[in-house]
Structure 1
Amino acid sequence: MKSKRGYRFILLLSCLILCASTACSSKAIADGSVDSYATIHGKLDVPVRATWVWDTTQIRSNPQEVLNYATANKINTIYLQMNRDVKIPDYKSFIRQARAKNIAVDVMDGRSAWGLTESREQIASFLDWIEVYQAQALPNEKFAGIHLDIEPHVHPQWKINQASVITQWQGNVEYIVERASRMKMPVAADLPFWLDNYKIPGSTMAVSSWMIRKFDSITIMAYRDTAAAIYSVAKDELAEAALLGKTISIAVETKQSKEGDFITFYEEGSAYMEAQLKLVEKMASVHASFNGFSVHEYTSWKTLKK
């Protein structure tokens, strides 16, 4: 009898410790007492389900609308563009409210010119702003990470001197990653799926391979409107990231596109998109690197037909 009682006591104690540990972890995420979700889990307990918020003024004018939509659509990560016209208290308030709902907020910015060395001062200014903000914010007001959308392939210089642009882009990425490391912030970047067609100058390494190695995680812009096509264009990066121990979020488009209806879910609507994403998840889950979806972007997503 004593041994049974002792076993039951140990079992009960173990359960209490496990529950307390889980509760503490959840509270730490919600109240922001850790700088990012990665501090506890390496990645989210569940795959990323993210969206971009480009119009940052919405966190000042309609913060609850943004957060209510995020909650209703199971969004756990928001890429929020840094806008100096939005005041620091507005960022702090929004992030506090987001953290209370277990939503991570990454500070986001970028433009095609950031692929050029001449834009280093702009990049430095962006990182300086983040450093100052993080230093004065309370734990539950801090950004969870940095998210970049640079895309130098749309800059006119890409067509004139592609090799030079790639080299300059590499230099800027190394600068950003080093600054982010000093701030102890994970840094991710949006990359088009076809970037593996281009090589690092003087090397046989694909540009996408170099970028996957440099960033903590990558968001692959697999802009297609069927599960088969989305997985097809993302699978090579998923496989490579898995070998490197990195994570990949697959991005899809909801904005109307001049490139063709096959690029976006604009015509099909949200129910069709969700069905396709479930199919993609089944296919992509064979890769250890797969870490959910990012839907571009908040404003167009919420106006998709049902």
Structure 2
Amino acid sequence: MKRKRGYQFVLLISCFMLFTGNAYVCKATALGSVDSYETIHGTVQGSVRATWVWDTTQIQSNPQLVLKFATTNDINTIYLQMNRDVKLPYYTDFIRKAREKNIAVDVMDGRPSWGLTESRQQIADFLDWVEAYQNQVEPNEKFAGIHLDIEPHVHPEWKTNQASVITQWQGNVQYIVDRAERMKMPVGADLPFWLDGYKIPGSTMNVSSWMIRKYDSITIMAYRDTAAAIYKVAKDELEEASLLGKTVSIAVETKQSKEGDFITFYEEGTAYMESQLQLVEEMASSHSSFNGFSVHEYSSWETLKK
């Protein structure tokens, strides 16, 4: 199934509030601005095919290599980490050239500590930087959206005070989506596939469901190396997002993993990965929420054996 790249933006026409605990279901939801989205994304077409660029200095030293890799591998979305040490002209030049190749660039940041209230100022500083950037550049130099990688489950407090961390994480996410809406920017986030096994404190709703409701889209980290396993771990989030009118990009790993060979395509290589993604697409396309793939990450994918 192919759709226009990006997040679904629909008017809030009807919303059913089913009060069962704290849960509810919306038939149609919207964040961000259709006008803003269309202006920034231009003519980018098709389902998401994305990668993360964590080393932002690459747009300084090797921008053409990054864009050549993107075009060769049919990448239409780049999650680019914000780095204050990289000067503004490098961002504007890279994004402008990416747009010429129908590649959208989302500004990315996040760390486990962003799940805690004490890190709210860091989050505010990031959003302030994004807002200032968007306000001073040309339309074809703007970031297309905001992409978050927070993962508070990695933070030590997750093991010692999980309920509190979840509550604080909710507060920070609400702050982010409220700011993003005022900035008229769609916001998406990376989520582990097993997050639906945890509950919102004082509620019957699971954490994954709450996050899907808040973000415009999610990237589900379905880090497995066979089509059947990838689809199995992503299926619940695909179903949930379909009900909520949200979109899901399925993420896979190419970095070597200490957790086991089954986590990543590092051992098998590019050709095998592509064959498995094709099989996943055949299964996942039955879900209206399915919106392509995100491959983690540029540096490891670029060196992956063919």
TM-score range relative to shorter protein? 0.7 to 0.9
Shift of 1:120: 0.2
Q: Give the Cα–Cα distance (whole angstroms) in 2 for the partners of residues 286 and 99 of structure 1.
A: 30
Task: Tell me which amino acid in the other structure corresponds to 1:257.
Answer: S
Structure 1 CA distance for aligned equivalents of residues 167 and 58 of structure 2: 36
TM-score, length basis structure 1: 0.87
Offset from partner CA, 1:86-145 (integer Å, 9 cap, x none) = 000100000000000000000000000000000000000000000000000100000000
Q: What is the aligned partner in structure 2 of residue 52 from structure 1?
A: 52
Any idea what SS the aligned residue of 2:75 has? coil
1:211 and 2:211 matched: yes
Question: What is the deviation of 1:173?
Answer: 0.2
Query: How far, CA to CA, are the matches of 2:273 and 2:156 in structure 1?
Result: 33
Render the CA deviation track for 1:65-98: whole Å, top value 9, x for unaligned.
Answer: 0000000000000000000000001000000000
Give the Cα separation in 1 of the matches to 2:148 and 2:212. Answer: 13
Match of 2:78 in 1: 78
Write the deviation string for residues 254-287 of structure 1: whole angstroms up to 9, x where unpaired: 0000000000000000000000000000000000
Note closer, same or farther for the CA distance 1:292–1:38 as it changes in structure 2 (3 Å cut): farther
Residue 65 (structure 2) aligns with: 65
**Normalising by structure 2, what TM-score?**
0.87
For 1:270 and 1:280, the matched residues in 2 are separated by 15
Contact 1:180 1:187 in 2 (8 A): yes
Say if 2:288 is the partner of 1:288. Answer: yes
Residues 219 and 44 of structure 1, relative CA distance in 2, 3 Å threshold: farther
What corresponds to 1:178 in structure 2?
A: 178
Please report how far the alpha carbon of residue 40 of structure 1 lies from its aligned counterpart in structure 2 after TM superposition: 7.8
Bigger share in helix: 1
Give structure 2 stretches of 5+ with no counterpart. 1-34
Residues 1:114 and 2:114 are matched in the alignment: yes
Residue 161 (structure 1) shift: 0.3
Q: Residue type matched to 1:36 in 2?
A: Y
Quote the residue 2:37 is aligned against: 36
Aligned to 1:305: 305
Query: 1:157-199 CA distances to partner (integer Å, 9 max, x unpaired)?
Result: 0001000000000000000000000000000000000000000
Distance 1:241-1:101 versus aligned 2 partners, 3 A rule: same
1:35 and 1:143 in contact (8 A); partners too: no
Q: What SS does the corresponding residue of 1:143 show, helix, strand or coil?
A: coil
Deviation at 1:152, TM superposition (A): 0.1
Shift in CA distance, 127/40, structure 1 to aligned 2, threshold 3 Å: closer
Distance 1:247 1:69 in 2: 25
CA contact (8 A) 1:78 1:104 kept: yes
What is the rounded CA distance, in whole Å, between the counterparts of 1:60 and 1:262 in structure 2? Answer: 34
Do the aligned residues in 1 keep the contact of 2:40 with 2:142 (CA within 8 Å)? Answer: no
Corresponding residue number in structure 1 for 2:258:
258
Q: Aligned equivalents of 2:46 and 2:176: distance in 1?
A: 28
Spell out, residue by residue over 1:228-268, the C-alpha distance to the aligned partner (whole angstroms, 9 max, x if none): 00000000000010000000000000000000000000000
Deviation at 1:36, TM superposition (A): 3.0
Q: Give the structure with higher Rg (CA).
A: 1
**Match in the other structure for 2:17:** none
Match of 2:222 in 1: 222
1:39 positional shift? 7.5
1:97-176 alignment to 2 at 5 Å? 97-176=97-176
Q: C-alpha distance in 1, partners of 2:117/2:248?
A: 27
**Whole-Å separation in 2 of the counterparts to 1:70 and 1:214:** 29
- CA 1:252–1:38: 2 relative to 1, 3 Å: farther
1:265–1:50 distance in 2 versus 1, CA, 3 Å: same
Shift of 1:35: 4.0
Q: Greater relative contact order: 1 or 2 (C-alpha under 8 angstroms, separation 6 or more)?
A: 2
Q: Which amino acid aligns with 2:263?
A: I
CA contact (8 A) 1:35 1:142 kept: no
Q: Secondary structure at the match of 2:239?
A: helix
Which residue of the partner structure matches residue 29 of structure 2? none
CA displacement, residues 24-48 of structure 1 (integer Å, 9 cap, x when unaligned): xxxxxxxxxx64359889x963110
Percent identity (aligned) = 80
**Structure 2 letter corresponding to 1:148:** L
Secondary structure of residue in 1 paired with 2:258 = coil
Secondary structure (helix, strand or coil) at the match of 2:291 reads strand
SS at match of 2:37: coil
